[in-house]
Structure 1
Amino acid sequence: MSRPASNVGSGGLGNRPRSPGPAAFAGLGPHNEGPETPSRVGPGIAPGRMEESTPDFLFERKIQKFFDMAEAYCYAHMNFPSTAGDALLHPLIKDRLMKAATQESAHQLASTRHTRYLLMTKVVLMWIIRHIWTEIPPFEGFDLEADRRISNYKRQIYQTTPPLLRHHFLSRIAQDVQRIRAHPDFLSYFQRLVCSQATKLWAIVHPLMHYPTLPFDWEDLKSLIYTAYCISGEMWATPFEWRFDFTPVGTPYDPSMVNKDPYIKGTREELARRNLVVKLGITPAVYMRDSADGFARTAQLTSHQVLVKDA
């Protein structure tokens, strides 16, 4: 698919991003130097040939590597502050920036190269989590009968559903996702899906690119969406629940968080003693819940990455 026209319009802008709340499992109930530029070669992950086993340390690294990839994309293509350019943004895009930060801090964060790309990273991740990682059915339209079954299983999962029954429904969803990904026609569908979703996200990120980075801005975005869908397929091909928590602004800093502010130095323990609070939650903490043996056990796979300020 060719690069979208510059005036791709506001398609997709009406879908407001929303980060999951602390109890909402997905879909179911440093930087003085910039990050590396995204690879032009594309991710070495085949959409239909990923592990079906329990996500482990390697999967944890895949998620963190994807967060790094999103940050690198925003650093390479969206880290060009322009007060005049931002003033002309569509109100819905301005609204996304304020929802990613706060009404008071969004302009400040977007106005400097030290923090603009981090704010843009959160905007991109909020959209991907909402529209790719927590979307049910995850590959809607490829197999309508499987879509119907998956939607039915999802409707039967509540916060009060017993763990074993919850695991049963999640296992059925995983089986359908595995069958879809193994289908010989899945790859062509997958490529169309990636282009379709990349076009929707392009309508949001392109107006925030005040200086062109042709042709890599579009190609790198497709690579980012491709990788996001590969991870989504692996998530839903296992009988686990997923939660993505962004740290709210004003939360006291604690040593479990990763500080990305280039001007605030110190170890995590030293920072925790300085009465700091979160100025921006950049990437979410990712949690995985397993109910296989009748007990719901939750594991944290990634840490919150944040900007901090004095309380």
Structure 2
Amino acid sequence: MSYYFGNTAMPSGFSPVLDQAQSQLNSARMSHAQIQQELQSLIQYRAMTPMSVVEGQQRDGEMSQLRVRLRQMEDEMNGLRDTIVRQQATIRNQSVAISNPRQYYPAPNATPTGCGDNPPQDRTVVQSMGPTMRSTHQTVYNHPSSVNPFGSPADRSSNNTGNPPSAHGGGQRAPGTGMQQPENNMALVPVSAVTSTATTINEQFACVFGMVEKFSWSHVNFPSSHGDNQLNRHIKERFLQAAAPTQAFPLMTSPATRYLLVAKVINAWIQDKVLRADSFRGFNANIDSMIDDAKNQVYQSTPAQVKFQLFNKIAAQMRELRQNAQFMRFVGKLAQDRGNELWQQIVLPLMHNKTSRDWDDMASLMEEAHRLAIMMYSTTDQYRFEMPEGSTLFKKNAMMVTSKQTMPNGMSTDQLEARGARVKLGISPRVVVKTSTPTGLINEKTVVPAKVLVDMAFR
């Protein structure tokens, strides 16, 4: 069983009450920002849309309800802030007491030995030259992760002591290596573990897209004018391409939507770099040549019988790769290298203070993305990705609303489509599979709907 967010060790300076209060405060902030956005959209719609007296009164009532909810949430956040301040004061007092004990105790062993309280978990592990990735079931050793000042695992090999490193660095830490509290408290939001038990490619697609959204939710920093001004042109262009020019800035500067825009950019990167027929180039030159030859013969006008034979040829080569005992080691190294590439190109400038957990979650995401690529090209099916553009009409059969967006009055997807709701941002693509047969029959269907953020101005 493979867990996505497996580092459950409590950072130094935390208590369960403080952790829970901080988590509730972060969630309340996100909800407060989202309600503010809904209220702003409703005010704009009310001011610019001609409507009857009855409808105008109805909209005024909705705005009044939203203002009441905002005041209630502000009171709740103030209470949580008071709780956090009290807990922090308690922790400071306890730290002083611990640092000045009344009697001497034997010094603890500085060598990390793992958490005895945490039972070993069954993880899929691939032995590679860098951080350990997963492929065959082994017991995970609870040694801490090691990161360089950038949070990236690039220099981990120099820290290798011969013990299998943990895929999720938990357990005790040597003095001086304590985890830093991130500036962005969103990183402390507890995220439910994503269990990699996908048995079908449909489940694996949903798993990977879900992990991307959870990664962004947990690790992306809050908007900051100073910080965003420091972003390089390459990253800014990615965000401008991910959303309409008029929407990119509001999405990036709102705490409720910033992480969704980042998730879309990461999804596009994985689609472009990992989910390809030639994703595993470099392991076997002959197989690379055969896959390229088959891939280059696939056109939109290629007959279905021929497509079946070509994709069957690619699947046969993929099966041959998987039979090689060294292939999964190669995949582990490939996932590490691509994780570093994604980290440097997109993730690094958009995160809080770097911790080992950041890379652990990235490593799990890269592992599952490469597992998905292997599954995709081990069959004769052909996959197409369709990302909804902004202002596209919402279609319930092809789209689903992100779980973080609350619909007014519990509005269903049927009602959204009937009332002409439009997409504000496509987050993950719709996945369409086209199945060919030796006789030429073609079956096309949606296996994973697109995940979208709905524009609430339609109400």
Q: TM-score, normalised by structure 1?
A: 0.81
Residue in 1 that maps onto 2:41: none
Q: CA separation of 1:280/1:94 partners in 2, compared to 1, >3 Å: closer, same or farther? A: same
1:68 Cα deviation (Å)? Answer: 1.1
Gaps of 5+ in 1: 9-33, 46-50, 52-57
Structure 2 Cα separation of the partners of residues 150 and 4 of structure 1:
37
- In the TM superposition, what whole-angstrom CA distance separates every residue of 1:72-100 from its partner, at most 9, and x where no partner exists? 00000014222221111010100111111
C-alpha contact 1:289 1:299 (8 A) present in aligned 2: yes
SS in 2 for 1:130: helix
Q: Does 1:128 align with 2:270?
A: yes
- In the TM superposition, what whole-angstrom CA distance separates every residue of 1:259-308 from its partner, at most 9, and x where no partner exists? 23625431011112333211101111101111113022212101121112
C-alpha contact 1:163 1:294 (8 A) present in aligned 2: yes
Gaps of 5+ in 2: 1-129, 131-145, 153-187
Q: CA separation of 1:99/1:297 partners in 2, compared to 1, >3 Å: closer, same or farther? A: same
Residue type of the partner of 1:120? V
C-alpha contact 1:136 1:150 (8 A) present in aligned 2: yes
1:219 Cα deviation (Å)? Answer: 1.4
Structure 1 Cα separation of the partners of residues 250 and 420 of structure 2:
22
C-alpha contact 2:216 2:260 (8 A) present in aligned 1: yes
Residue in 2 that maps onto 1:6: 150
Residue in 2 that maps onto 1:191: 332
C-alpha contact 2:208 2:368 (8 A) present in aligned 1: yes
Q: Does 1:287 align with 2:432?
A: yes
- In the TM superposition, what whole-angstrom CA distance separates every residue of 1:52-84 from its partner, at most 9, and x where no partner exists? xxxxxx321221122111110000001422222
C-alpha contact 1:36 1:72 (8 A) present in aligned 2: no
Residue in 1 that maps onto 2:385: 244
SS in 1 for 2:385: strand
Q: How many pairs were matched up?
A: 272
Q: CA separation of 1:5/1:189 partners in 2, compared to 1, >3 Å: closer, same or farther? A: farther
Structure 2 Cα separation of the partners of residues 252 and 221 of structure 1:
33
Structure 2 Cα separation of the partners of residues 206 and 180 of structure 1:
33
Q: CA-atom RMSD, angstroms?
A: 2.3
Q: TM-score, normalised by structure 2?
A: 0.56
Radius of gyration: which is bigger? 2
- Choose 69-78 or 293-302, whichever is displaced more: 293-302
Identity over aligned pairs, percent:
28
Q: When you count helix as a share of all residues, which structure comes out higher? A: 2
Residue in 1 that maps onto 2:191: 37
Q: CA separation of 1:159/1:36 partners in 2, compared to 1, >3 Å: closer, same or farther? A: farther
Structure number with the bigger relative contact order (C-alpha 8 A, sep ≥ 6) is: 1
Residue in 2 that maps onto 1:29: none
In the alignment, which of 61, 66, 73 is matched to residue 203 of structure 2? 61
1:182 Cα deviation (Å)? Answer: 1.7
Residue type of the partner of 1:306? V
Residue in 1 that maps onto 2:166: none
